[in-house]
Structure 1
């Protein structure tokens, strides 16, 4: 498995990535994420996950983002945003690899905590995220549950 930047050569393939039926309401289409990321290149890095020559997943890392700048309690956060594994490749470790790569990038940038959020529901990513060790903070972002994973040296759970 390897991470690859989105380029003119693979952008159409990236935009064609689809999750399983029933999951569409829990993650934005992959085409939306690179467009948003390239509008804010200082805080978001979209990447594709390939297994050999096959595109199997997408992940967008965000770094040092304050979601509510008007709230003095809102600290900068980093983590994976909108990971999506293609319908035919789920359950094979590609999502874990993608999230793990973002965690490593957060560590390289000096971070010790990774944040994710999800929309609650039966076909959503809650089970995947909690299975990796993310724990709800009790906070919400819009209609999404906010969860975190401690990456510090004393962490009980290591990032995937």
Structure 2
């Protein structure tokens, strides 16, 4: 059996609780923000943030199509992703 690769899914009211229940392994907690923080940042920045550096998740996010938009938040890089034909980083 093959494990599927990472993918992005829209969070809806119907699956919000399930999304908030997602956890990473304890050895990954230093590198991954809790889902609730990531959802809040995505709402505010129309994207994601990540810690820069060789051990950070930048390569992962770039591989999903996120692009740094030149902003930082709390010392983290802000990356945006074009969805549904909207320009990346467009205000909501």
Runs of 4+ in structure 1 off by over 6 angstroms are: none
* Secondary structure class of the residue paired with 1:117: strand
| Larger RCO (CA within 8 A; separation ≥ 6) | 2
Gaps of 5+ in 1: 38-43, 45-59, 67-76, 78-113, 156-160
Aligned positions of 1:50-61 closer than 5 A:
61=39
5+ unaligned residues in a row in structure 2: which ranges?
A: 5-14, 88-92
- Structure with higher Rg: it is 1
User: What displacement does 1:122 show?
Assistant: 1.1
**CA shift digits 1:91-111 (9 cap, x unpaired):** xxxxxxxxxxxxxxxxxxxxx
SS at match of 1:133: coil
Partner of 2:63: 131
Aligned residues: 71
2:26 is matched with 18
CA distance in 2, matches of 1:64, 1:124: 18
Q: How many Å separate the matches in 2 of 1:154 and 1:64? A: 15
* CA 131–141 in structure 1, closer or farther in 2 if over 3 Å, else same: same
Q: TM-score, normalised by structure 2?
A: 0.54
Show CA shifts across 1:36-83 (max 9, x none). Answer: x4xxxxxx7xxxxxxxxxxxxxxx5348744xxxxxxxxxx4xxxxxx
Q: Secondary structure at the match of 1:61?
A: helix
- Return the alpha-carbon distance in structure 1 between the equivalents of residues 41 and 72 of structure 2: 19
- Aligned-residue CA RMSD (Å): 3.6
Which structure shows the higher strand fraction? Answer: 1
Counterpart of 2:81 (choices 136, 139, 149) is 149
TM (normalized to structure 1)? 0.34
